[in-house]
Structure 1
Amino acid sequence: MAEQTTPRKSRPRPNSDGRREQIVSAALRVMISEGVYHATTRKIAEAAGVNVATLHYHFHDKEEIILSVMAVLASNYRGRLDERFSAPQTLHDRIADLLGFIWQEIESAPGEQLVLQEMTLYVLRVPQAAHLAADKEREIKQLYAECLGRSSDVSAADAPRIAELSNFIYACFVGILNQWLATRDTALLLKTTSQLVTAARSLWPAT
């Protein structure tokens, strides 16, 4: 039987001087420029303008820094998503607009998208941090489910179907995103995304 590991919970550290935010911001910059695998705690400390001891006072290890970077990116993404989709829409319209919004986010910050993909692969190699990959997947799908669930023609009773629809959109678009990251073929991405919109709408026939 394979040994099971219990996800480690980080202990909160004092942050009165904003050091945690400073380190997290520096970590994202280093990860974008050098990749997640090469972003050592020493390089992150140097980019943040702190010594390694200070970094480890606020973060136990690289995996905890990755968790914090993920949390910041998700929080920022949620804010932009909520702002963009504040007006009422039917689900069919929202499906197309949501996928258009996702592409705009990727186009405006492709480095962040590449970092998120690298983070998933990185944490899967670290037994005590592997749960972070599943956490990231759940959080993004939940964001999409909340967005779609606020459509004007969707009710609370539709929540299970909305969850399935969100999973379908997310799983398919991850493949589209990975293809674009490899080829940077924007025309192909837009064509495939349009096909995904049609497929997603077919799962929820208009009434």
Structure 2
Amino acid sequence: MDEHQLMDQKVLRKSRARPNSDGRREQIVNAALQVMISEGVYHATTRKIAEAAGVNVATLHYHFHDKEEIILSVMGVLASSYRSTLEERFAQPQPLHDRIEDLLSFIWSEIERAPGEQLVLQEMTLYVLRIPQAAHLAAEKEHEIKQLYTDSLARSSDVGAEDAPRIAELSNYIYACFVGILNQWLATRDTPLLLKTIAQLVRAAQNMAQAD
């Protein structure tokens, strides 16, 4: 079982008893994402999500136990979408040195295209950390997104199975640094500074990869 499928499986296990023959789950999840983008995760109540989805609250709770389960599903949808996008973009072989620069450049282009989704992901982390029974979702989200970096770098033409530990370390470094850069940009929208800092991160990551 691939690690990047764990979040999707958690969603399925938690909601196994909820039928979806009429597509209601997808309808509710898509509506939830739009409500969270427009109003924020904290203000996205189940009632507002139900209204946006065109269903009543009872129908929403028939498909989802609570708001936290909806959040988990939204995380899964976003991660699945990013995974497909990255796999399509980096389908061709490429050396690790070049992959690092192109990966960060491409991720930034996707963020620039849909910044609201990135803000929602950051808000989700803070939201679930405030809820003891849902705090584990933050770790799951971090693992899932970081795994996207790992998988993309691991498919470099000069990387083999024996390089898995150093690729995981490199991915963690890139991801941790990039989250800080992204949060700064979300607060300031200073794109020139972001691009300059990303270029510095690229060089540092390339040097780290070469040193290994």
TM-score norm. by structure 2 comes to 0.92
8 Å contact kept, 1:32–1:115: yes
SS in 1 for 2:210: coil
Which of 126, 130, 141 is residue 131 of structure 2 equivalent to? 126
Structure 1 residue 10, shift from structure 2 partner: 2.1
Task: Spell out, residue by residue over 1:93-146, the C-alpha distance to the aligned partner (whole angstroms, 9 max, x if none).
Answer: 000000001101100000000000000000001111111100011111111111
- Aligned partner of 1:183 in structure 2 is 188
8 Å contact kept, 1:85–1:147: yes
Which of 59, 65, 68 is residue 70 of structure 2 equivalent to? 65
8 Å contact kept, 1:144–1:166: yes
Task: Please give the alpha-carbon distance, in whole angstroms, between the structure 1 residues aligned to 2:159 and 2:15.
Answer: 40
Q: Is structure 2 residue 53 aligned with structure 1 residue 10?
A: no
- Letter aligned with residue 81 of structure 2: N
- Aligned partner of 1:116 in structure 2 is 121
Task: Please give the alpha-carbon distance, in whole angstroms, between the structure 2 residues aligned to 1:48 and 1:65.
Answer: 13
Task: Please give the alpha-carbon distance, in whole angstroms, between the structure 2 residues aligned to 1:180 and 1:96.
Answer: 19
SS in 2 for 1:204: helix
- Aligned partner of 1:148 in structure 2 is 153
- Aligned partner of 2:41 in structure 1 is 36
8 Å contact kept, 1:92–1:206: no
Task: Please give the alpha-carbon distance, in whole angstroms, between the structure 2 residues aligned to 1:108 and 1:183.
Answer: 17
Task: Spell out, residue by residue over 1:153-186, the C-alpha distance to the aligned partner (whole angstroms, 9 max, x if none).
Answer: 1111000000000000000000000000000000
Task: Please give the alpha-carbon distance, in whole angstroms, between the structure 2 residues aligned to 1:87 and 1:177.
Answer: 27
Task: Please give the alpha-carbon distance, in whole angstroms, between the structure 2 residues aligned to 1:192 and 1:165.
Answer: 17
Q: How is 1:48-63 mapped onto 2 (pairs within 5 angstroms)?
A: 48-63=53-68
Overall identity of the aligned pairs, in %: 80
5+ long unaligned stretches in structure 1: 1-6
Task: Please give the alpha-carbon distance, in whole angstroms, between the structure 2 residues aligned to 1:139 and 1:50.
Answer: 30
Task: Please give the alpha-carbon distance, in whole angstroms, between the structure 1 residues aligned to 2:100 and 2:14.
Answer: 37
Q: Is structure 2 residue 146 aligned with structure 1 residue 135?
A: no
Task: Please give the alpha-carbon distance, in whole angstroms, between the structure 1 residues aligned to 2:15 and 2:112.
Answer: 36
8 Å contact kept, 1:141–1:167: yes
Pick the structure with more helix per residue. 2
Which of 18, 21, 26 is residue 31 of structure 2 equivalent to? 26
Structure 1 residue 11, shift from structure 2 partner: 3.5
Structure 1 residue 30, shift from structure 2 partner: 0.3
- Aligned partner of 2:5 in structure 1 is none
